Structures are given as structure tokens and as C-alpha cells.
Structure 1
């Protein structure tokens, strides 16, 4: 037997995609130096090494112990033809129902965030017709029966001219928990808007963008210094006791040193029920 060994422990084979061309490729999960990595190779764009987790024990427990039988939707929307991820919709091979559904009601946004995955901005004046949004909500209910969580998103959904009509449509359906993704600008600037928003308080939550206390980080992530906007938005949300989740877009070396400060701050805000970190 050879004495040569690889410098890692092999754990699993996975299906992934190339981060350059998005073609489906095979990869493998390995343990090395106390961390979990994904190794993958594209025939056109060479190899990649991606950090998945910095705690092997926690990663293994998440994969091997904290599991349950997959929950299925009532309806599948696409057949299996090309395989994951190309048949998404959901297809019959999907191992989970839609535990959280995003309904994008507009492309317009009052900001132009450099990190926006939807490429939204002031120049994109598209607002979905309420009839189309109603059919989207009906599709979610048809698939799920009683959807666990639906998020109205965009763009900036609170800027939709029929926003409250859309809220009424969503609340009229058997959605267990409704959320609105927002940068908080209208909430900060218009108390009457917040007062009306508070009438939907039961099983409702504001998913409020809250990335940093520092100007430079906000300029890099959002293209604007939103510190005062966040302060004013939270004052209004506290005033009307609207359940709120602070959502932090987290970038290594930019705002990750603020994790503890953000959690400590959240604990001082009566309206805040949680903090969500979304690494990029």
C-alpha cells in the first residue's frame, strides 16, 4: 500500500455549477484544516475551491442528524427533462416543498444597490399588473395549500402603486405568514403608510434591509448612506409595533465585524423579532 495520502478527507460527491458559465458540473465535498470545502472543475473554466463551512462537526450534524422526511408540494409544475437545476419550477425530483416563496411584484426600485441580484433600479419602471400578481398568489396556494411563508418582493415592493391592494389579495388567501422585503425608505418617510401597514399586523412581518452602521459599507452595498433612513424606519415600526426582521447582506472584510453590534442593537428594538444574515 502506498504511503501517499491526499491532504484532505473526502466526504461526498455533489452536483454543482460553474460560477462563470453556470454549466452543471460534478464536485466533491472535503474536510481540510478543520473546514469544509467544495472542490469542482469546469472543462472550460478550470477548478474552483469554495469554503462551505468552518466547523466540520456542525456541518456533519446538520447533514446527518438534523434531518426529516422531505415535505412535498400538492402540485408539481414542471416535468423532469434536463435534470437539476434546469427543470426547476418545482419538478417532481425536487426534494422539498416551497417553504418560502418570493412573489416579485415589480422591477422598479428607489435605490440602485450594487449587490442587487434582481438588477432593479429607478430606470426599471415595470410594475406587475394586480391581475397577474393575483394569479401568482393563486399558483402558490395551489401548490402549497396553506403556504408557510410568502414574501412580497421586487424591486422595492412598497413602491408599487397598488401595494395595499396586493396586500389585501395576499391576506385574503390562506398564507400562514406574509412578509414584505423592503429597503425601508417609504417606511422611514411616510408615517401614514406605516399606520396603514400596521392594520395587517397579524401573521405579518417587515423584512427590513439593515446592513451596517457605517457609511462606507452602506455606500459599497447600497450606493447610498442609509443610516438615517434605517433609524427613521425603525422608529416608525416601533411606534406601530410592526413585527420586523433585520436582514443583513454580509460581505467578508466589509461589515462582518459588525455582527455582534447588530444583534445587540436588535435586542434594544421592541419591534424586532429576529436578525437574518445573508452572506455574499
Structure 2
């Protein structure tokens, strides 16, 4: 593709969690990441990133960050169960619609909103962008969320037309499945199940270069460089296989950046491919 693709990296607030959320190996307690029986003084603040892809064929948002309602009443917005494990912090101007306003973009201008998965800090802001043309997550992720798992709450997509997309066999990813957004392999949602049943990673590529947006596949570079699993996992073996694949991809020629949603080393910036 001759035209450039631009990726905006936003911080849409922060999430306060136990240190065992990004790295489960900090504790022998298998449920330490929930914060249960853990001191609140241990909590750390991690950024909550979202990404806007300016593509010649359309505007694509990856994840939504926090809704503005968390500034008013977090428990009411999130439910007490989700709020127990995750505390939201959303400074003025950092909600996704507020950041769009600075760029002169309106939610209805978005061609796609993709959710890497449906955890609270990724789906909370869905209502803010519900006017987008298509709002999607993987078929497996939507099905898992509809089964009533405690980690999900459909309150975030009530009134939102959340569509499932289906992965197809491909040469990409640890499990050889992906969804090609524009039909030219420039934006791919790749199957990286492990963190949740239907977690997706986003690969953006152009002119021999590529960027990986890992979602919660890894929480920082140490995740794939040292194969450190996060606390919340659905399948440990799949998680390890996914991290090994990300590690391999990060070493390939043409890899510009590998970005984790909650990496404190990542600051807002713009990437051009």
C-alpha cells in the first residue's frame, strides 16, 4: 500500500490492580490478581491504552478505555464485583470521545470499533462510541461473555450493536487464525486465546513494516521477552504459546513496535507505517 497508515496511541485513564494482575509469578497465591485477602497498599496504577488507526480505507478504533461515568460512581458503572478487582482513574480529557474531540473526530466517523476482549477496562467506554458504523469482537469472546462469567458484564454493551466477527484459517498467529478487516492483510485481528477464550491481537502492517497491539496478551515487554503469564488467564498453555509467538514476531525485521495495553513504559504517541 503506497499511502501511509497512522496509529494514535492514547491513554484512556489508568486501572488500579494488584501486582499479580500483570505478572502472576509475583505471588504463589493463584487468585492474588483478584485482590482478595491482599492489602490495598499493594495496588499499582497501570495505563489503559486505546488505539486509533487512520487507514486509507477507514478509521478503526481498538478498545475503548473507561467511560466518563467512572468519575462519578465507579461501583454503579462497573458493579461491585468488577470494582473490587479493578479501580478506575480517568482524568479530564482522557475519555475516548474527549480525545477524539481534540482531533476533530466524532464517533460516527469511525468505520470500525474492535474490542480485543470484553474485560471492563477495554469495554467500559463502548457507549461513548456507539454511533460507529461497526462495533465488533470475536465470536468466541462474545459467546464466552454471554455465558455469565464473573469477569464480564453486559451492562457495557447494552444498547450497543455489538457484532461478532469470525476468524478464518490463515498464516498468522500462534493458532493460524485471523480476521482481515480490509481484505488486504493491512489490519488483522489475530487469534491469541489464553487471556480469555476469544482474545484478539491486532497487527497493522504496511510497506514491509508492522506493529502489534497485544491487548492483554502481555502487560509489558517482560511478558513476551521472559514469558511471564498475567494473573487472569483462561488457558495457561495457550497463553504460553501466544507469548512465544509474540516474542518471535518482536524479533523479526520490520517490527516497528509491540505495544501492550497496560505497559507503563508506553507513552501516548503516533506511529506512521
TM-score by length of 2: 0.30
The structure number with the bigger radius of gyration is 1
TM-score by length of 1: 0.30
